[in-house]
Structure 1
Amino acid sequence: MPALFEPLTLRDLTLRNRIWVAPMCQYSVHERDGVPTDWHLMHLGQFAAGGAGLVIAEATAVSPEGRISDRDTGIWTDEQADAWARVVRFVRSQGAAAGIQLGHAGRKASTYAPWGTDGRRGSVALADGGWETVAPTSQPFGTFAAPRALDAAGIDRVVADFASAARRAVAAGFEVLEIHAAHGYLLHQFLSPLVNTRADGYGGSLENRARLLLRVVTAVREAVGNTVVFVRFSATDWAPGGWDDSSTATVARWTADAGADFFDISTGGAVPDVDIPLEPGYQVPFATSVGRTAGVGVAAVGLITDPRHAEEIVESGRADAVLIGREALRDPHFVFRAAAELGADVDYVPGQYQRAPYPQPTEAIR
């Protein structure tokens, strides 16, 4: 059996393979109430029917002010959780595990969605339905609106919001909770020395900058019992003096001690105008570095589009799993294509699709 198709067990959850679908924002809550819709059922359900071992729902806000845009999903109300439960039931019925990414956008919140807004970009003004954002300091992200620096009470609310959202997510049936500490959103903002210039117990040293994340992980673990908890990190800011893979590994070890089970390693997002050397698998070395230095399980993500490349990443031990995003959008049945190309015998192709198997490469040539 190819390494990609070996099961992986985390706590009491066994994932049927090592090909997982990354969280991808859809900006499709047109009622602006954070409630997932039929689009989310279709979008996530297709990946479960397509064979993924784990399907992680998009960055879902733990509070209204934590949304990237007003068209984001949320999980701060019971109505939202009930709507998510419908999506989760279908994902799990197809044999995939259901995950959700819990996030707070911090100073990158209250922005226009990237499509369907007549080309408008950046922060949405208060008069146009936007809201005040929060961050470690009042320093804005590029040309975005300046945030309000969180005080002690505000930090406590963030921790409580993550814990409450986690409880709702488990009640909705999610089996994996991913805490979003990447891509320049709030928890990453506290981690990055380029963003967090506080002079109190949440700024300065690495221990202080990691304090909020550690509090969140601890609170989530206490709230959800034995449920699997991931943390997504950006392993570099791609900027001199910024967050790096060494710091990521150290904090990953601390969060593992606090209750995190596994790590999803991405990069970037904290500061604008950086040069990122995009190429297939460009983030894989960061996943390898963090995993080996911290002694933790990691998934690699970023322009992984070819089954043989994905197999090499896992088979060589550079990562324990791969997360695919854009390639899953192009081919929701990527897993079955990979199985055909790698010679894996899988028994979870839906009966409805068995009449149209992916051909072996030699058959495709004929």
Structure 2
Amino acid sequence: MNSALFTPFTVKNVTMKNRIVMSPMCMYSSHKEDGHVQDWHVTHYVSRAVGQVGLIMIEATAVLPEGRISSKDLGIWNDDHIRGLKELNRQMKMYGSKTAIQLAHAGRKAMVDGDIFAPSAIPFNEKMRTPVEMSLDDIKHTVNAFVEGARRAKEAHFDIIELHGAHGYLINEFLSPLTNQRTDEYGGSKENRYRFLKEIIDGVNQVWDGPLFVRVSANDYHPEGLSPEDYVEYAAWMKEQGVDLIDVSSGAVVPAAIPVFPGYQVTFSEKIKHGAAISTGAVGLITTGIQAEEIVQNNRADLVFIGRELLRDPYWARSAAKELNVELAPPVQYERGW
């Protein structure tokens, strides 16, 4: 069978051997709470490379220690982190996978000691702490931290960088009117709310010349929040700045009831892809090869991000290939059992 899912995809100078992406998923496994790569990360990510995933995107990696989701998150806030990330990259690439890192700041959803920061001093819910409203100096410092994170990602030999602008974390908090109630140049209008991300993209482009992705939450699931139509406009602005692909997720900027079903976010990817004329990735309860094939075959997304299913099955790419009657070459060590 001719499979769209198993065709290569090229973005800038990077060609992935198939359209399967390991979605970034936090492992909460930096046990010394210093942000460093541990043995677990090597076992976890390299096994998916052996399983023939086209692009492995490692988990949300904090650009500042106060921007960690948890104290056990990976970090990229100082040069000491480069060595472990570089070795992780070397091992993943041995098996033909391309590699990406998601640069992140958790904003008001950070669960670490000390002050946490957000565009406005509004807690996520009654159980979470109230963040400190960021000053202009705080904003400048954080933009610079993303830029420095990108520089370190380049030194660690990642092929692709993704900025985490989804799931209610800091960039998402600036974009959404539900969480950004500032009255200065970073709040109010859609253009002002975009300014923080705009400055990050501009800064990253000064140190990074590879593919740049942005993950977004394309629906706030709230009548006063952002909709997929809003993100078509945001995506067009990102494209103008040189962003290559929008990784389309949804929700989590505020507590909300989300109607979840297989492929529930694919329509958002489709709308942004065609509305902004930009490449997209689809994510969300995509579990079978047939389902993933339909998404790519029908031009609803360019890449398919697989999350929990790759936790359950490191060799999901092999399972999908068998479903689709595609010959997928294994590592030579596994040929007798593939």
TM-score range, shorter chain: over 0.9
Counterparts of 2:322 and 2:131 in 1: how far apart (Å)? 50
Aligned residue in 1 for 2:231: 248
Q: Which residue of 2 aligns with 1:313?
A: 295
Equivalent-residue separation in structure 2 for 1:41 and 1:295 (angstroms): 36
| Counterpart in the other structure of 1:350 | 331
**Residue in structure 2 matching 1:289, options 271, 279, 286:** 271
Q: 1:223-261, CA deviations, whole angstroms, 9 ceiling, x for partnerless residues?
A: 11x211100000011111101111111111111111211
TM-score by length of 2: 0.98
Q: What SS does structure 2 have at the residue aligned with 1:68?
A: coil
**Counterparts of 1:86 and 1:140, CA distance in 2:** 38
| 8 Å CA contact retained: 1:110, 1:131 | no
- Match for residue 115 of structure 1? none
Q: Offset of 1:151 from its aligned partner?
A: 0.9
Distance 2:44 2:235 in 1: 31
Match of 1:184 among 130, 155, 168: 168
C-alpha distance in structure 1 between counterparts of 2:204 and 2:51, whole Å: 30
Deviation at 1:79, TM superposition (A): 1.6
Aligned amino acid, residue 2 of structure 1: S
Q: Cα deviations across residues 39-87 of structure 1 (Å, max 9, x unaligned)?
A: 1111111111101110000000001111011000000112211111111
Kept after mapping to 2: 8 A contact 1:230/1:263: yes
Residue 197 (structure 2) pairs with residue 213 (structure 1): yes
8 A Cα contact 1:202 1:212, kept in partner: yes
- The superposition leaves residues 291-323 of structure 1 with CA deviations (integer Å, 9 ceiling, x where unpaired) of 111100001000000110110010011111100
Secondary structure in structure 2 of the residue aligned to 1:300? strand
Residue 74 of structure 1 aligns with an amino acid whose one-letter code is: G
Q: Residue 200 of structure 2: SS of its match in structure 1?
A: helix
Taking the TM superposition and a 5 Å limit, the aligned residue runs for 1:1-366 are: 1-110=2-111, 130-142=113-125, 143-224=127-208, 226-272=209-255, 274-347=256-329, 349-357=330-338
Q: How many angstroms apart in 2 are the aligned matches of 1:210 and 1:244?
A: 15
Q: Tell me, in whole angstroms, the C-alpha distance in 1 between the residues paired with 2:227 and 2:162.
A: 20
- Where 1:177 maps in the other structure, the secondary structure is strand
What SS does the corresponding residue of 1:322 show, helix, strand or coil? strand
Per the TM alignment, residue 345 of structure 1 is displaced from its structure 2 partner at its CA by 2.2
Size of the alignment, in residue pairs?
A: 336
Secondary structure at 2:5 match in 1: helix
In structure 1, what is the Cα distance between the partners aligned to 2:111 and 2:159? 29
- Residues 76-106 of structure 1: per-residue CA shift (max 9 Å, x gap): 1122111111110011111000100000000
Q: Kindly state the Cα deviation for residue 341 of structure 1 after the two structures are TM-superposed.
A: 1.4
Quick one: distance in 2 between partners of 1:247 and 1:93? 40
The one-letter amino acid of 1:139's match is I
C-alpha distance in structure 2 between counterparts of 1:97 and 1:336, whole Å? 17
Which amino acid is 1:105 matched to?
A
Aligned-partner residue type, residue 316 of structure 2: F
Tell me how far apart the structure 2 counterparts of residues 44 and 232 of structure 1 sit (CA, whole Å): 20
What secondary structure sits across from 2:58 in the alignment?
Answer: strand
Contact 1:110 1:132 survives alignment (8 Å): no
> For residues 166 and 210 of structure 1, what CA distance do their matches in structure 2 show?
20
Secondary structure of 2:282's aligned partner: strand
Deviation track 1:87-137 (CA, whole Å, cap 9, x = no partner) reads 1001111100010000000000025xxxxxxxxxxxxxxxxxx12100011
CA–CA distance in 1 between the matches of 2:114 and 2:29? 19
Work out the CA distance in 1 between the residues paired with 2:288 and 2:217: 23
Q: Please say if residues 177 and 230 of structure 1, whose CA atoms lie closer than 8 Å, have aligned partners that are also in contact.
A: yes
How far apart are the structure 2 equivalents of 1:303 and 1:291?
19
- Aligned equivalents of 1:79, 1:266: Cα separation in 2: 31
Residue 354 of structure 1, CA deviation: 1.8
Q: Given residue 294 of structure 1, which amino acid in structure 2 is its aligned partner?
A: A
- Runs of 4+ in structure 1 over 2 Å off: none
Q: Secondary structure at the match of 2:212?
A: strand
